Amino acid sequence: MSRNKQTEIHELIRRKSRRITDPAGREALVLDDDQALRVAGSCDCSVNQVYTEALRSGINPYRYIRNREIISVQEQLRLTDSRVAVIGVGGLGGQVILLLARVGIGHLVVVDHDVFDETNLNRQALCSSKSLGRPKSEVAVDVVGSINLGVEVTPYQARLDSSNAPEILGGLDVVVDALDSIPDRFVLERATKKLGIPLVHGALAGLEGWIMTIFPDDPGLKRVYGGVEGKGNDAESPEAILGVPALTSSIVANLQAMEVLKIILKRGRIFRNIMAHVDLERGQLNEFIFERRAK
């Protein structure tokens, strides 16, 4: 963006912003969504760029005012500048996409080769009667656009493999594994390790699920799956046998989304070399801690 364009946007944002008192009685400068849209239209730029420039000036997009204190203006700017991929737009991926869009991740890359069908209605957050038969990645663009125009979405209706991974994943800050195939997970892990990108793994079956964050030099998925990378049998998978209710996908997706924030904001305790296992029926959250160096 040119300096003149940036100056123009800053000036319009200052003129369109307003001072409010937040629910805790504190004053703040905010920019409403409709005003952000007007600025974007006047300056021929994206709403994401408007949000970015507003935050750089210490002005909160009004939609993020309830994030304040938990997420500072500078941290919100870091989220707005970030790029995150969600691989798999199903039970886990759909929930993760919604959470990241609402919290303000600036650019989402969504990857899924499939279309929605009626069996997805029980748990997949982006699936509705109107989206049946439509590509999941395409629906993700529409739903995110209806929630937060400040989030740019790049969709890929494809199965991620070694040939397309560099193009799809290049330049990302974090990748979320929301797949349901063990062999596909290993393909994704190899790609993220090669590109030097942290991977947030999540899986579920029945009323149990788990997550683990994998950095490029970590042992990773072999800790969980024992290095089994062959062809998977979908009919024998835990998901197929035990089912995948919405309750489990929701809590695992929340844990994954929080891992993304912790990585980007460099705060909190990351589940690195730790598998966090949740059992909803027993009301338990357990940790399985792995040694960092393992052959």
Beta-bridge partners for 135: 115
The predicted-structure confidence for 169-195, as pLDDT tens digits, reads as follows 999 999 999 999 999 999 999 999 999
The answer to whether 55 touches 73, Cβ cutoff 8 Å, is yes
pLDDT for residue 128: 97
Output the pLDDT for position 295: 44
Structure confidence at residue 240 (pLDDT): 60
Is residue 241 scored above 90 in pLDDT?
no
> Parallel, antiparallel, or unpaired for β 284-289 and 18-21?
unpaired
Give 223's contacts (C-beta < 8 A, 6+ positions apart): 212, 273, 275, 290, 294
pLDDT tens track for 258-284: 999 999 999 999 999 999 999 999 999
What is each CA distance from 161 to 67, 95, 177, 198, in whole angstroms? 36, 23, 13, 17
Q: Which residues contact 204 (CB under 8 A, 6 or more apart)?
A: 91, 92, 210, 239, 244, 248, 249, 252
pTM, two decimal places: 0.94
Check whether 231 has a pLDDT greater than 60.
no
Structure confidence by residue, pLDDT tens digits, 144-157:
999 999 999 999 99
From 244, 280, 258, 246, select the one nearest 126 (Cα to Cα): 246
19-52 per-position pLDDT tens digit:
999 888 999 999 999 999 999 999 999 999 999 9
State pLDDT tens for residues 70-90.
999 999 999 999 999 999 999
Domain ranges of the chain: 3-78, 82-289
Looking at 3.40.640.10, 3.40.50.720, 3.40.50.9100, 3.40.50.11540, the CATH number of the domain 82-289 comes to: 3.40.50.720
Q: Which range has the worst mean pLDDT, 7-16, 72-81, 202-211, 234-243?
A: 234-243
Integer Cα distance of 53 and 105 in angstroms = 15
Is pLDDT at 234 greater than 70 in this prediction?
no
For the chain, give me the number of helices (H) and strands (E)? 11, 11
User: What are the structure tokens assigned to 118, written together?
Assistant: 């009626």
Mean of pLDDT values over 40-68? 95
The arithmetic mean of pLDDT across residues 64-75, rounded, is 94
Q: State yes or no: pLDDT of 237 exceeds 80.
A: no
Contact present, 202 and 255 (Cβ < 8 Å): yes
**Residue 26 to residues 11, 58, 68, 168: CA-CA distances in angstroms?**
24, 15, 11, 42
CA distance 224 to 219: 10
